[in-house]
């Protein structure tokens, strides 16, 4: 039997993720008129029955093709890997947007190995946008190669952000926004972290920062942004994570880190 090369593995994972993301997008685009809702950390943080249906579909499709892989899913899917590959899934990133029938919600699917995220897919049907990246292979939007903005001043930069579900953290975030907004071109709050990271990757915004992101918010979009030339870190160059994510081209990243990091 021919041994699978790393390139073969990447292509297999990417092809699988693309097909699954599109199936989940079809499921979610048939949006129901009413929702069953379960609260998570607060009244602001909730999931719908469609989040659970999407995660069930994604997990089923992955394990049907690759039964030895691990799973980390926002809505509770959890499985240890015996293959060396673990999938990181957000079945609806931007649930509030989805609930209110606003654009930008997406399906975020990544696969990682012992060295980090290997492939990432972010599919936003309402934006007609499918972003993808492989580690070391560049980033693409609808099959067009993309690159981060080269903005190097705050005053000429459009910055995206998001807000925590935690009320006290929202107050702190509001204070940072109040200090930053006179210094930048404008602020955008799109409501979906994975798409914000992908907007950085494609230059639709110049930079992005947010606290409170989980691994499933960051895995696919973070890889896509990095492969498009962005720096994606936490505070003062620390690894990106729940405490802080700052994403931008190198020059703007340094300025944002001084301002908010």
**The total number of structural domains that make up the chain:** 2
Lookup: tokens for 48: 């719908």
- Asked if residue 55 and residue 134 are part of one domain, the reply reads yes
Which CATH number do you get for residue 61?
3.30.540.10
pLDDT digits (tens, 9 = 90+) for 150-192: 999 999 999 999 988 778 888 888 888 999 999 999 999 999 9
Q: How many Å apart are CA 187 and CA 205, to the nearest integer?
A: 9
**For residues 220 and 177, is the Cβ–Cβ distance under 8 A?**
no
R_g (Cα) of the chain, nearest Å: 18
> Over the stretch 225-236, which tens digit does the pLDDT of each residue have?
999 999 999 998
Overall average pLDDT of the 12-25 stretch:
98
Is 80 exceeded by the pLDDT of residue 4?
no
pLDDT of residue 1: 42
Up-side HSE of residue 192: CA atoms within 13 Å toward CB?
28
The domain boundary, picked from 145, 167, 186, lies at 145
């Amino acid at each position: 039997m021919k041994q699978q090369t790393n390139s073969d593995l990447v292509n297999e994972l990417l092809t699988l993720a693309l097909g699954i993301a599109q199936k989940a997008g079809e499921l979610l685009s048939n949006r129901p008129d009413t929702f069953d809702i379960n609260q998570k950390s607060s009244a602001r943080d909730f999931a719908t029955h469609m989040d659970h249906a999407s995660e069930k579909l994604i997990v089923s499709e992955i394990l049907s093709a690759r039964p030895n892989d691990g799973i980390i899913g926002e809505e509770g899917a959890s499985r240890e890997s015996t293959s060396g590959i673990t999938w990181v899934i957000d079945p609806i990133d931007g649930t509030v947007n989805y609930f209110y029938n606003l654009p930008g919600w997406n399906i975020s699917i990544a696969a990682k190995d012992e060295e980090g995220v290997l492939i990432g897919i972010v599919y936003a049907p309402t934006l007609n946008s499918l972003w993808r990246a492989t580690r070391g292979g560049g980033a693409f939007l609808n099959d067009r190669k993309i690159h981060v903005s080269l903005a190097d001043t705050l005053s000429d930069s459009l910055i995206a952000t998001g807000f925590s579900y935690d009320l006290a953290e929202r107050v702190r975030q509001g204070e940072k926004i109040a200090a930053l907004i006179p210094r930048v071109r404008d602020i955008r709050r799109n409501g979906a972290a994975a798409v914000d990271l992908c907007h950085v990757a494609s230059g639709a915004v110049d930079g992005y920062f947010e606290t409170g992101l989980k691994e499933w918010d960051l895995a696919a979009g973070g890889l896509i942004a990095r492969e498009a030339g962005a720096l994606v870190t936490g505070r003062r160059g620390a690894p990106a994570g729940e405490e802080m994510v700052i994403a931008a081209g190198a020059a703007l990243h340094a300025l944002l880190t001084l301002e908010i990091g």
